[in-house]
Amino acid sequence: MALTACSIVVTVAAAARSTVPGTPEQPRLPALQADSLAARYAANHRFIARSERAARDMGDTGRAKVLGRLAREDRHFLSFSPRGDGQAVEVLGDLAHADRIAVVVPGSDTTVDTFDQLGTVYASLNGGARSLHAEMTKLQPDRKTAVVAWYGYPAPRTMSRDIVSTDRALDGGRRLAGLLGDLRTVNASASVSMLCHSYGSVVCATALRRMDAAAESSLADVVLYGSPGTGVRSRAELHTRVPVWAGRGATDWIAGVPHVSLDLLGEQVGFGTDPVTAAFGARIFPAGAGSHSDYLRPGGLALRNISLIALGRGTEVSHD
């Protein structure tokens, strides 16, 4: 009952925020291509700036402060929406000319408001993506890399029924598969890694089962970390040719989540086999002693190993 009440409060609050008069209309963006990236970034920058002014005019100082950070001139967004919990897809690096592209797919409690700050900075989507890009650059400064911080789906809240259901992942997986196709249009020569945290693992697994052969042809690796499961029983059920990696920090509470999957009145509840077990069949990488939010912590073993995989250097992954 308490979870249901909490879910209702969150839903009502988000709906109220998304329908406040004065919210700017979404701009018409140019098609996602290499030669349209600058125009797309500029259009989203203007839209975020207008959204910030609208939030201030409506007295939403908290959201206005968030949008002010997102509206900095040095930030580049492929897409953005301020409505409800929002949507934001940010690019770090030169997407059109990168040799390796890493797409960071977040888990629960990701919103526009937490995009830059969720507990520790590196636990936020933007903070983790920046840590990853910095580590990849440090490990191989001569390689052109880009990182996409992809908050492109309505992530569930931890204190809601959605957190144990695949419903949000079904929508998210469809959108993520579309992004992989778009990235191939922008840069067909780049190798792409999907880096999937927590509930984001379920989103990535759904995307794998939905993407077409052209989108998958650019995919080099899938990395699951802090994962509650993927919604399938084994790696084989993902029907992908690419390597699938899995890691878990020694103090990550997600280890205690029941690894079951049940069909309750036509709805799948739970996410099945633990990805770090032999039964699942993933390649295991050591993730150190960290907790659920520590995987992209600067200086950590998990960040180094995830970065090596994203660089195509999986054979160098540490084993201690």
Mean pLDDT by 10 residues, the chain (320 residues): 33 38 82 96 97 95 95 97 94 98 96 85 92 98 98 87 81 95 96 97 94 91 96 93 97 90 65 94 97 96 98 90
- Residue 303, φ and ψ in degrees, nearest 5: -60, -45
Q: What is the 3-state secondary structure (H, E, C) of 253-288?
A: HHHHCCCCCEEECCEEECCCCCCCCCCCCCEECCCC
pLDDT given for residue 10 in this prediction: 36
Q: Compute the distance between CA of residue 176 and CA of residue 198 in angstroms, rounded to an integer.
A: 16
pLDDT given for residue 89 in this prediction: 98
pLDDT given for residue 11 in this prediction: 35
Single-letter amino acid code for the residue at 311: L
- Residue 291, φ and ψ in degrees, nearest 5: -100, -165
Q: Compute the distance between CA of residue 251 and CA of residue 46 in angstroms, rounded to an integer.
A: 42
Structure tokens at 169: 């992942």
pLDDT given for residue 160 in this prediction: 74
For the chain, state the CA radius of gyration.
19
pLDDT given for residue 22 in this prediction: 63
How remote is the C-alpha of 107 from its chain's centroid?
7
Q: From 319, 103, 133, select the one nearest 223 (Cα to Cα).
A: 103
pTM above 0.75, yes or no: yes
The dihedral through the CA atoms of 62, 65, 70, 71 has a sign that is positive
Q: Compute the distance between CA of residue 23 and CA of residue 72 in angstroms, rounded to an integer.
A: 20
